[in-house]
Structure 1
Amino acid sequence: MTDMKTRLPAGGRAALGVIGLVQAAFAFLAFWDLAHRDAAEVRGPKPLWIPAILVNWVGPASYFLFGIRR
Structure 2
Amino acid sequence: MAAKKRWSEMSSRAKVRIVVAGVVQLALQAAALRDLSRRTPQEVNGPKRAWVAASFLNFGGPIAYFVWGRKRAGNEPRPR
* Residues 16-52 of structure 1 deviation map (CA, whole Å, 9 limit, x = unaligned): 1011101110010000000011111100111111111
Q: 1:35 aligns with which of 14, 37, 53?
A: 37
Q: Which runs of 5+ in 1 are unaligned?
A: none
| 4+ residue runs over 6 A deviation | none
Matches within 5 A, 1:1-70: 6=5, 7-70=9-72
Q: Secondary structure at the match of 1:61?
A: helix
User: Relative to total residues, which structure has the larger helix share, 1 or 2?
Assistant: 1
Post-superposition offset of 1:10: 1.1
Between the two proteins, the alignment pairs up a number of residues equal to 66
Q: With structure 2 as the length reference, what TM-score do the two structures score?
A: 0.77
Alignment gaps of 5+ in structure 2: 73-80
Higher relative contact order (CA 8 A, sep 6+): 1
CA distance in 2, matches of 1:41, 1:65: 13
Relative to the length of structure 1, the TM-score reads 0.87
